[in-house]
């Protein structure tokens, strides 16, 4: 499965994301042809190679002959995208990005989505940045998009048409909070712009660490500012290997003369020693005596440590070992909000799609206690929200 990973160690802006996608092979000519369908006045896309803190990077910049300072409303922006002859996937993703941002702006200003006025985000170059980024993603066609934790500045002020506002911008902070995007602080300069945040949230299937992939292409998209660190977004394209069956050790022992009270401690010791799984099954042994079957799965390199624990912590005088095939799904985590409490959801992937998902129990329990809800209702809400975020 092809995976695209955005490494946002210096935040992100629309032009940085576009530059990174061009750098890993998205066709500039095809992007320009796609943008020709937009009616936003005259524009020119300038693509150049620059140096950012020692990194070679691609700078993508839209030049507007006469500065477009038009304050467009959310419906204006949506209409300009809807009416353009764009690929359906590009159109849908761009509208989603602007909708997410409009909802965040509406929350900050106490208005509604349709009353939202985009200032910098509504300018022609910002609209072009968003549509161009999704056109590039459409051309590259990754099966899955993952984004790292995103660097933001905190404590500084940014100059906007609204005047000086805190960093990160209020709408950006709202967008990050609403969609549980992991972040970290790097300085006080604005690193994450509204267009950058909206593109990442709309495009990403999940946020988290780099998946296990075989690197194929790496690209760098340059930011406008020169900072103490390389001001770039890094895009990594690679192939995630299909899940293969692996051989693991199955270790088992029948126990009929051991206090059941000791079993939880034994299982705890086994997990500390690296066991993949451990469980107990009630069995009937010779002469009709009730007993317990203790079973453990472990990597072959950890089998010896598990066997030592069997003999030191249980009453068994012998055990059985065998080699079994183990099939696993690729897994990742996403985070949703339930009653104001972040709830992590573990997802299992097969064939490029999510086939199972489960809320983290401790997170769901905290949300249930905070909202006075049944735990099963919290689980249902978390799964529903996770499903709504899938592409």
Tell me the average pLDDT of the chain: 89
Confidence of residue 111 (pLDDT cuts 50, 70, 90): confident
Q: Between the CA of residue 232 and those of 11, 18, 63, 143, what are the distances in Å?
A: 8, 11, 20, 24
pLDDT at position 221 over 70: yes
Average pLDDT over residues 283-289: 88
* Per-residue pLDDT at 244: 54
Confidence of residue 122 (pLDDT cuts 50, 70, 90): very low
Average pLDDT over residues 285-312: 92
Confidence of residue 117 (pLDDT cuts 50, 70, 90): low
Of 232, 175, 217, 230, give the one whose Cα is nearest residue 200: 175
Average pLDDT over residues 352-370: 90
Confidence of residue 330 (pLDDT cuts 50, 70, 90): confident
Choice among 69-78, 166-175, 216-225, 306-315 with the minimum mean pLDDT: 69-78
* Residue, of 168 and 201, whose pLDDT is higher: 201
* Per-residue pLDDT at 331: 82
pLDDT at position 177 over 80: yes
Structural domains in the chain, sorted by start: 2-239 (no CATH), 246-326 (3.30.70.1380), 330-388 (3.10.20.300)
Of 113, 135, 104, 121, give the one whose Cα is nearest residue 70: 121
pLDDT at position 71 over 80: no
d(CA 199, CA 4): 14
Q: How many other C-beta atoms lie within 10 A of the C-beta of residue 362?
A: 10
What would the pLDDT profile of 340-359 be if each residue is shown by its tens digit? 888 999 998 887 788 999 99
* Per-residue pLDDT at 217: 95
DSSP assignment of 281-293: EEEE-GGG-EEEE
d(CA 148, CA 181): 9
Q: Between the CA of residue 80 and those of 32, 130, 261, what are the distances in Å?
A: 17, 12, 68
d(CA 101, CA 197): 8
Range list of β-strands (E), 188-240: 206-207, 214-222, 232-239
What would the pLDDT profile of 195-215 be if each residue is shown by its tens digit? 999 999 999 988 888 888 889
């Amino acid at each position: 499965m092809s995976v695209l990973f955005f490494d946002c160690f210096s935040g992100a802006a629309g032009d940085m994301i576009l530059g990174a996608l061009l750098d890993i092979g998205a066709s500039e000519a095809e992007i320009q042809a796609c943008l020709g369908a937009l009616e936003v006045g005259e524009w020119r896309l300038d693509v150049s190679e620059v140096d950012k803190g020692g990194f070679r990077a691609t700078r993508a910049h839209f030049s507007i002959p006469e500065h477009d300072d038009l304050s467009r409303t959310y419906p204006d922006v949506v209409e300009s995208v809807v009416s353009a002859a764009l690929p359906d996937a590009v159109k849908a993703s761009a509208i989603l990005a602007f909708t997410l941002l409009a909802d965040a702006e509406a929350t900050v200003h106490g208005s509604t989505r349709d009353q939202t006025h985009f200032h910098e985000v509504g300018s022609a170059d910002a609209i072009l940045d968003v549509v161009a980024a999704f056109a590039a993603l459409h051309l590259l066609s990754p099966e899955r998009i993952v984004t790292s934790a995103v660097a933001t500045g905190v404590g500084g002020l940014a100059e906007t048409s609204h005047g000086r506002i805190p960093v990160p911008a209020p709408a950006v902070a709202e967008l990050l909070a609403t969609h549980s995007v992991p972040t970290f602080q790097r300085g006080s300069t604005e690193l994450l712009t509204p267009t950058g945040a909206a593109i990442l949230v709309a495009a990403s299937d999940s946020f988290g660490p780099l998946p296990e992939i075989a690197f194929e292409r790496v690209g760098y998209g340059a930011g406008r500012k020169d900072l103490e660190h390389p001001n770039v977004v890094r895009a990594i394209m690679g192939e995630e290997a299909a899940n293969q069956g692996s051989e693991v050790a199955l270790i088992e022992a029948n126990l009929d003369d051991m206090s059941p009270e000791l079993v939880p401690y034994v299982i705890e010791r086994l997990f500390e020693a690296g066991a993949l799984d451990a469980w107990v099954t009630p069995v009937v042994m010779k002469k009709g005596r009730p007993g317990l079957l203790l079973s453990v799965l472990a990597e072959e390199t950890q089998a010896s440590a598990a066997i030592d624990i069997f003999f030191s912590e249980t009453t068994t005088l012998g055990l059985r070992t065998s080699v079994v095939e183990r099939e696993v799904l690729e897994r990742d985590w996403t985070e949703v909000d339930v009653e104001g409490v972040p709830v992590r959801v573990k997802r299992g992937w097969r064939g490029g799609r999510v086939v199972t998902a489960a809320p983290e129990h401790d997170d769901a329990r905290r949300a249930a206690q905070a909202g006075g809800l049944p735990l099963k209702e919290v689980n249902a809400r978390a799964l529903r929200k996770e499903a709504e975020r899938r592409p």
